[in-house]
Amino acid sequence: MTRTATRIAAKHSEAPKPQRRRKPPAATGEQPNVVDPVLEQRVREAAYFIYERSGRVDGRELENWLEAEALLLREESQAAQRDESES
């Protein structure tokens, strides 16, 4: 085998380097990507409404936020289905 062929063979036989995992935004102090600020505000308001409706129980911020997201996504999905059926 020639010298060049040996280098090429050695280069292609190396195991791929593992990719570094990126830390989540909270761990790095970065702000998470906000796709739609209007949607974020709607979720924030819905989460607050859920907080008030549930008796203002502290410590349920994440649950309230996720419930608000699910509610808004359901509403958007139902509206899209209505629009499709009317077309």
The angle at the Cα of 46, spanning 52 to 66, to the nearest 5 degrees, equals 100
Q: Residue 86: its pLDDT value, please? A: 86
Span 45-67, pLDDT tens digits: 999 999 999 999 999 999 999 99
Most confident of 10-14, 30-34, 71-75: 71-75
At which residue do the structure tokens 């995992």 appear?
A: 21
Q: What is the pTM of this model?
A: 0.56
Separation of alpha carbons 74 and 14, rounded Å: 49
Give the whole-angstrom CA distance, residue 52 versus residue 49. 5
